[in-house]
Each structure stands twice: as C-alpha cells, then as structure tokens.
Structure 1
Amino acid sequence: MFSDFAYRIFEESIRNYHIEDSVDQAFVNPYTDDDIARLLYRKNWIDTVQWHYEDLIRDPEIEPAAALVLKRKIDASNQDRTDLVEYIDSYFLEKYRSVEIKEGATINTESPAWAIDRLSILALKIYHMQEEVSRTDASPEHIEKCSQKLNVLLEQRKDLSTAIDQLLADIEAGKKYMKVYRQMKMYNDEEMNPVLRGQK
C-alpha cells in the first residue's frame, strides 16, 4: 500500500534528522531523482525542520531580531512545503493520466498529495508523542496523558492511511478523478502583496 511505503520514508527522514537534531544541519537526500521516495523524503524533512523551527520561535527568551529571522525561515519553509505537495500531485497526475474516468466519478475534497502531507505531519506527531511517553523525568500523570494521546494518533494514522489507499485505488479504477488547484499564495507575490509591491 502506498501509505505504508510513504510512512516508512517519513520515519526514515525523522530518524535521520534526529541523529544530529539541528535545524541548521545539511540536507542529504538518499533517493534518486526518478524515485517518488525522493519527493516524500524531502517533503518530510521540510516538515521536520519546520516542526523544530516552531519549537524555537516559542522560546519566551528569544530576541526579537532572532525571532524575525526565524519567522522568515518558517515562511520560506511553508512555501517549500507547498511546492513539494504540488510536485507529489504532479507524480500522481502523470501516473493516472491514462485512466478512463467512469461515468458518475466524483472528485475528492483534497488531492492525494495533501492527504499525504497530513500523514507526514502525523508521523512527526507520533514520533514526538512517543518521546514524551518515554521520558524518565516526567510525572506518571504526564506519561499517562501522553500515552492516551499517542493511542489516538496511532488510530488516526490507521484511518488516514486507509483513506489515502482507498482514494488512490478509486482514482486508479476511475471511480474518482484528480483535479488539482495550484496554491496561489498572494502574500509571497511581489505583484499581489501591496507591501512588497510598494517596495519595488
């Protein structure tokens, strides 16, 4: 199933990030250009770095100048994340390009790649919640609370994985069809954001 394949790539990315555990570490993609795993690995790496950016920016002692630099990095990361989702959707569009769409076929509320995006974030939630459960310096109450949350996250993973695989199977069978709307983030566009336009 594609969801299991993707999740294994996400876990690999998360594990590799935490070897050095630094937002400034060099990124190395172990997969070749013609492998969908390359896009999945890159996608999750972006999510993982941003997860830790979000931790850092919540430091109550952070200097305003450092916070601004970090905010710019988060903005750039969000754009990279969106780009990667669109690349992954392009892979699926090409893969299912020749599928004959059945009469009465329906469209899904989100594209396959945006569902896979949620699976990538869920992998991060599970990893970090498991860290909380495994803490030796936390109270029994904290461990119990996090254990309950981890169980919910694991159930979410099962449900989301099932939904992703069913969506892909329906697209492959022509029961659903893909229609991808590219993201139009106006605030990053120098012609559309009045603040950026005013600086030209």
Structure 2
Amino acid sequence: MAALPDKDRNRLDDTITRLHTVNGRLWDTEDRVRGALLSAAQVADCKREIDQLNAERNLLAERADEVLGSLADAGRADVPLHTETLASVIDRLSVLTLRIWHSERAATRDELARRRVSALHGQREHLCAALDALVSDVVAGRRRLPVPARFKLYGRDDAAPAEIKPSRRLRRVLAFGGLSECGKSTSAEFVQRTCGAQRFKIGFLLRQAAHREGLADPYALSARRQAELLLGELNRFADAHVDTELFTIESVHDDASIAEIKRLMGDALQIVYLDASFAVRVERSGTPAQAVAAKDEIKMSRGAHQVAALADHVIDNTGSIAALRAQLRRIAAPPASTSLRAATPYGLGLPAAIASATADFTDAVRAYGPGVRLAALTGSPGEGSWIAGWSDLDLLVIAEHEAIGRVHEALEQYRIALGGAASLGPTLVTPGELTARRLTPRLAFVLHQLRRAALFCMPHPASNCRRSAEASWCSPLSGNSPRSS
C-alpha cells in the first residue's frame, strides 16, 4: 500500500473498513435470523437484509480489487494463476477476525469456544503470512491474479443492485438531531413556517418505505439499508412536488444511519445538532428530571449524542428563542450569490429621451472619480420590461460622504432632463451605512433587486467595477439575504 498514491491509499482504506463493517453486520443478522421466536415476517426481513448486505459486500470487494490490481506486475502470460483475488483473501481475513472476536466473547461461558481461540489465532497468522507472500509474488510478477469481477446477480434480472442517488429535485434537506427537549421540533416548525420547508419525521418515512417494500420492521435492517429507504422516500416526494426546495427530517437518533445518509447525499444534506444542558432541557420540558433522563438514555443507546460529531452545524440552544431563530435562518436561507450585469443606457430598451438623460447622468457621476462607488438601475430597466408611462426609474447610488453633495446636483439635473417622461426614485447611501448593517426596508428591497439590475459603475471600466462594487457592499452584506432583511 505504501507504493500507492495518497488518493488510492485512502480509497482502499475506506473500502476495506466498510467491507469489515458489512461483514460484522452480516454476522449479527445471520445470528438474529436463527432466533426461535422470530415470526415469518421477521425472518423475511432478515433474509432481505442478508441479501442486501451480501450485494454490498461483493461491491466493496470489487472496489478494493480495482485499487489493488494496480500493484500487480503485468508479467508474462505463462506465470502461475492464483485461485482468488487479493480482496477475496482480505475478505476471508475479515471474517476470520470476526470469528476470533466472537469466540473470545463466548469463551467466558463456553469451554469449547475457549479451546478454539488459540487455533483461530494460528489460522489468522497463517492467512496473514500467505497474503504477504501472495502480494510479494504478484508485485514481482511471479503470480497472476484472476479477473476481479464477481458478476453476482441479486433479485430479478431487470433489477440489478444499484446505489441509490438523490433525485435532482431533492435540492436541500436539513436533519435535526439532539437529545430530549433540545428544540428539534421547535426548529423544524420554524423552518417550515418561515422558509416553506416540507417537514417529515424519520419514523414516518421509514414506516412508509417498509409498507411499500413489504417489511415488517425497518429498524431491524442495517444502517445502510435504512438510509436507502429514507432517501428513496424523500426522492419520491421531491419528484412529485417539484416546487419544494427545502425538506426537514427529525428526529435524528441513530448516528450510524445518518452517517450513511450523508454518504449518499453529500452536501445536499445538512445535519443540524441542537445542544443544551440537562438542566435547561428539564426546565423547558416542564416534566421531572427522571423523565427527561429516561428519554435521554433511550436516545443515547441508539447513538443520538454521537450525531454531534457528524453535524454540519452545532447550535447551542441554551439562549433565547430569537438567537435560535437567527441561527436557523442563516442555515435554512443562506444568502444567494449574485451575478451583476454591466450595460449601457442605450442597451436597456428605454425610450430615446430617457436613455439620453440616463447617459448624461452616468457621464456626470463618472467624472466624480472613485467617490462614487456604484450606480445601478434596478427593477424594470434591469429586467428589460420597461413600460412607458408606467415604469419608474429606481436608482441606487453608493457614494462616499464627500461626494454626496455633487451626486445630489447630478440627480436634480437627471430629473430635469427626464422632463416628466419617467418618475425617478433614487436611493443614495454611503459605504459606511451599508457596513453598519442597519437597513431600512426600502434599502433592503433595493439590494434584493440588484440581482436583476442593470449596472453603471464609475469611474472604473466594467471589469474592475464589479470588484469595486463587491468590495464596497457585497462582502459586508454577505450575512443578509433578502429573506432575513
């Protein structure tokens, strides 16, 4: 492995770790299916889980062989061919390691298991030595490996196993986790009410998926399978409601399954962990401390407290409801990126007289040099939807304090030149007023309209103007979206 590039080495390490994890889950499920008290439906669930884990096991082994195959020397075609691939040997080593671990646990109560432990360790040493020798022969070209593809078939011929992926219509999902009375439901309800999110309980989604798949107990499935079922239900809803841009899911109590969902969805899933002290949660619940502690114990047994290590956002929810809402708003409605457009007054489809007056105003303020940072026509001129006799000229000017007087003079000349052909609605601010983040409703609306504005930037050329404009107002306002303003 030391000879592999960093990317391949990390990929191999991750793949083998997941392979060993899957083998552990297979072992547990095969033990569970042998239970004498299981109903027919529970046995069927276990069988489905075993099939799914076996499919995942073979896929991971093939991925490991893809990396390990690069270690092999092409060599000659007549060198001896080994009976199995390197990943097959590693898979056997994984199963043998699990057998040792389970035997050592059973040795405290089973004499036969205790006697086997020493022999199992010997088998493991022999297998490790054989693997080392095989790798040396493969690298030196003294032995060839078979084709790694396993060509396994699971289910119907027309339903080959494939990794489920998020629908392109499933844009953003917020998953709320935390212990009892930490504010998960309060947070999800706020995001639903203010951002139009579609709100789901994880339990509801799992029950829906179980009913659809004919499963009696979805919680008995592996974390990976639960993640696939949840994502499948989210995909189905998103495809049927194409206007929904944000979803929330709660309550995240299982760190293993949410980690698998994160692997499937990537950044489209944002995990939000709400943290609060036990005393605060007891006070907010209005119930005895013992009741909250009992709920915590159940959730922690599933890994709820470990979700914090996986979270994209950890919110300290010991403060006010206003502080919580402010943080949720920043997460649920981040500021949208704005692509500014530069144009000339004659390229906006304005009447000739209005375009001429606008061009004169542009020339006047351009002459003021860097004292004027930005002049922008927003609304219908920028959108190309000007209607004579109806549309106004909404103008935003950002100027240094010392240039304000001259800008007022230019605005008055602009009004005179328009001669009543259009109404002028100017908004004049300094960079200092913007960086103070004290926005009037009108200014907030104007900044919102800038996304579709026609820009005239002075005194620099358009290419430099955008950098100037971003330096003067975009960066200081990056925390304010139109919705939050």
Unaligned runs of 5+ in 1: 3-31, 194-200
**Aligned-pair CA distance for 1:149:** 0.9
Please state whether the residue corresponding to 2:10 is helix, strand or coil: coil
Tell me which of 115, 127, 132 is aligned to 2:106: 132
Name the CA distance, whole Å, in 1 between partners of 2:9 and 2:22: 17
Tell me which of 151, 163, 179 is aligned to 1:184: 151
- Aligned twin of 2:332: none
Please state whether the residue corresponding to 1:177 is helix, strand or coil: coil
Name the CA distance, whole Å, in 2 between partners of 1:188 and 1:33: 33
**Aligned-pair CA distance for 1:147:** 2.2
Tell me which of 56, 75, 82 is aligned to 2:32: 56
Name the CA distance, whole Å, in 2 between partners of 1:187 and 1:119: 24
Name the CA distance, whole Å, in 1 between partners of 2:16 and 2:159: 31
| Structure number with higher relative contact order (C-alpha < 8 Å, ≥ 6 residues apart) | 1
**Aligned-pair CA distance for 1:93:** 1.1
Paired residues of 2:62 and 2:148 also in contact (CA < 8 A): no
Relative to structure 1, the CA distance from residue 103 to residue 49 in structure 2 (aligned partners, 3 Å threshold; closer, same or farther) is closer
**Aligned-pair CA distance for 1:78:** 0.4
Name the CA distance, whole Å, in 2 between partners of 1:125 and 1:68: 25
Name the CA distance, whole Å, in 2 between partners of 1:68 and 1:168: 41
Residue 42 of structure 2 corresponds to residue 75 of structure 1: no
Name the CA distance, whole Å, in 2 between partners of 1:40 and 1:181: 15
Equivalent residues in 2 for 1:153-172, closer than 5 Å: 153-172=120-139
Q: Percent identity?
A: 26
Tell me which of 16, 20, 23 is aligned to 1:40: 16
Relative to structure 1, the CA distance from residue 183 to residue 103 in structure 2 (aligned partners, 3 Å threshold; closer, same or farther) is closer
Moved more, 59-68 or 100-109: 100-109
Relative to structure 1, the CA distance from residue 176 to residue 189 in structure 2 (aligned partners, 3 Å threshold; closer, same or farther) is farther
Paired residues of 1:186 and 1:192 also in contact (CA < 8 A): no
Moved more, 99-108 or 61-70: 99-108
**Aligned-pair CA distance for 1:95:** 3.0
**Aligned-pair CA distance for 1:63:** 1.1
Name the CA distance, whole Å, in 1 between partners of 2:12 and 2:94: 14
More strand by share: 2
Please state whether the residue corresponding to 1:176 is helix, strand or coil: coil
Residue by residue, what CA displacement relative to the aligned partner does 1:94-125 show, whole Å, maximum 9, x if unpaired?
233xx241474211011111011000000100
Name the CA distance, whole Å, in 2 between partners of 1:48 and 1:132: 16
Name the CA distance, whole Å, in 2 between partners of 1:192 and 1:63: 27
Moved more, 114-123 or 86-95: 86-95
Relative to structure 1, the CA distance from residue 39 to residue 187 in structure 2 (aligned partners, 3 Å threshold; closer, same or farther) is closer
Name the CA distance, whole Å, in 1 between partners of 2:106 and 2:132: 30
Relative to structure 1, the CA distance from residue 79 to residue 48 in structure 2 (aligned partners, 3 Å threshold; closer, same or farther) is same
TM norm structure 1: 0.70
Residue 91 of structure 2 corresponds to residue 117 of structure 1: yes
Q: Structure 2: which amino acid aligns with 1:112?
A: L
Paired residues of 2:65 and 2:148 also in contact (CA < 8 A): no
**Aligned-pair CA distance for 1:40:** 1.0
TM-align CA RMSD: 2.4
Paired residues of 1:104 and 1:175 also in contact (CA < 8 A): no
TM norm structure 2: 0.30
Name the CA distance, whole Å, in 1 between partners of 2:77 and 2:153: 36
Name the CA distance, whole Å, in 2 between partners of 1:103 and 1:40: 29
Name the CA distance, whole Å, in 2 between partners of 1:33 and 1:91: 8
Tell me which of 54, 69, 76 is aligned to 1:93: 69
Q: Structure 2: which amino acid aligns with 1:182?
A: A
Relative to structure 1, the CA distance from residue 129 to residue 115 in structure 2 (aligned partners, 3 Å threshold; closer, same or farther) is same
Paired residues of 2:51 and 2:154 also in contact (CA < 8 A): no
Relative to structure 1, the CA distance from residue 57 to residue 119 in structure 2 (aligned partners, 3 Å threshold; closer, same or farther) is same
Name the CA distance, whole Å, in 2 between partners of 1:57 and 1:81: 19
Residue 113 of structure 2 corresponds to residue 146 of structure 1: yes
Bigger Rg, which one: 2
Residue 87 of structure 2 corresponds to residue 105 of structure 1: no
Name the CA distance, whole Å, in 1 between partners of 2:23 and 2:66: 19
**Aligned-pair CA distance for 1:33:** 8.5
Please state whether the residue corresponding to 1:178 is helix, strand or coil: coil
Number of aligned residues:
155
**Aligned-pair CA distance for 1:35:** 3.8
Q: Structure 2: which amino acid aligns with 1:93?
A: G
Relative to structure 1, the CA distance from residue 67 to residue 33 in structure 2 (aligned partners, 3 Å threshold; closer, same or farther) is farther
Relative to structure 1, the CA distance from residue 167 to residue 66 in structure 2 (aligned partners, 3 Å threshold; closer, same or farther) is same
Paired residues of 1:43 and 1:84 also in contact (CA < 8 A): yes
Q: Structure 2: which amino acid aligns with 1:126?
A: I
